A and B are shown apart, each in its own frame.
Chain A
Amino acid sequence: NAGVTQTPKFQVLKTGQSMTLQCAQDMNHEYMSWYRQDPGMGLRLIHYSVGAGITDQGEVPNGYNVSRSTTEDFPLRLLSAAPSQTSVYFCASSYSRSHEQFFGPGTRLTVL
């Protein structure tokens, strides 16, 4: 099993550009989440999904969109990148809400 994979590993954007961060898992997990990690702030939940076709907002959803068309994939879309979105983004998945979350290796995003 590859576990949770994220692409790309690094990305530089200009303000106003859009892009999609990819996340995939091969563990047949129902729960998937996106977090951003900023120094001194821990991980903050952006969006999450409890199954295909079902998504909900987390703590910091503004400026981000998600969709969940399959169990395996949970892409995060930045609609119009802003410097405040410079961060490290982690995708995670788990079997259920009470189970351990498995994290991907992260995507380091810089917005100029």
Chain B
Amino acid sequence: AQSVTQPDIHITVSEGASLELRCNYSYGATPYLFWYVQSPGQGLQLLLKYFSGDTLVQGIKGFEAEFKRSQSSFNLRKPSVHWSDAAEYFCAVGAGNKLSFGAGTTVTVRA
């Protein structure tokens, strides 16, 4: 069965600074990989996804993620964070008919 680890529970970043959220997965083959964002009291919104091909994928709101097979990682990045990026971020791995989520990383943006 697949599993997902997000090592950072909480990250605080200054507005305008860069952000990187880590995601490591465990799965025997190449899985489908996703990053979702959840604002307080809201459902989840897809930021980006990776199925195959180019290992650097672009998403909405200026986010990008890089798939590294050798490291079993799919880290999320943003060059310059805005206050509206404060939210909880979830990495997810799809294999077969199931989607497994990491525990999430909460991002706080300070002025």
Q: Looking at A33, A59, A103, which has the most chain B CB atoms within 10 Å of its CB?
A: A103
A33-B101 in contact (CB<8A): no
A104-B43 in contact (CB<8A): yes
**For chain A, which range describes its interface: under 10, 10 to 19, 20 to 34, or 35 or more residues?**
20 to 34
Enumerate chain B residues within 8 angstroms of A50, measured Cβ to Cβ.
Answer: 97
Enumerate chain A residues within 8 angstroms of B90, measured Cβ to Cβ.
Answer: 42-43
Enumerate chain B residues within 8 angstroms of A35, measured Cβ to Cβ.
Answer: 101
Looking at the complex, which one of A31, A33, A59, A100 makes contact with B34 (CB distance below 8 Å)? A100
* B86 nearest CB across to chain A (Å): 17
A101-B99 in contact (CB<8A): yes
B43-A45 in contact (CB<8A): no
Q: Mark B23-51, 1 if CB is under 8 A from A, else 0.
A: 00000000010100000001111100101
B94-A98 in contact (CB<8A): yes
Tell me if A74 counts as interface (CB < 8 A to partner B). no
Known: A43-B101, A45-B98, A56-B97. A98 touches B32 (CB 8 A): yes
